[in-house]
């Protein structure tokens, strides 16, 4: 009988409470959002950099073309 009671108490203690589950899910959601924001910044910078470089090259070329 004591073993049954101890095993019930053991499994009851091992069961996570709803607050800790909520906290873990919230932290995971925050981490995923931060990762998503970093990816967005990275891709924005990657697509912006070639555009800036091409603009710096094309501008003087267009000036030379208009002068000729």
Q: What is d(CA 63, CA 68) in angstroms, rounded to the nearest whole number?
A: 9
- What's the structural domain count of the chain? 1
| pLDDT digits 0-9 by tens, 24-51 | 999 999 999 999 999 999 988 887 677 6
In a domain, 56, yes or no: yes
| 56, 62, 67, 68 alpha-carbon torsion, rounded to 10° | 120
In a domain, 30, yes or no: yes
In a domain, 34, yes or no: yes
pLDDT value of position 22: 93
Range of the domain at 41: 18-67
Query: Which position has the higher pLDDT, 6 or 35?
Result: 35
In a domain, 3, yes or no: no
Q: How far is CA 53 from the centre of its chain?
A: 28
> What value does the mean pLDDT of the chain take?
84
In a domain, 50, yes or no: yes
């Amino acid at each position: 009988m004591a073993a049954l009671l101890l095993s019930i108490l053991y499994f009851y203690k091992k069961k996570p409470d709803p607050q800790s589950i909520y906290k873990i899910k919230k932290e995971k959601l925050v981490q995923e959002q931060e990762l998503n924001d970093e990816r967005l910044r990275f891709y924005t910078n990657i697509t912006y950099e070639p555009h800036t470089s091409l603009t710096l090259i094309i501008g003087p070329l267009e000036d030379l073309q208009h002068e000729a």
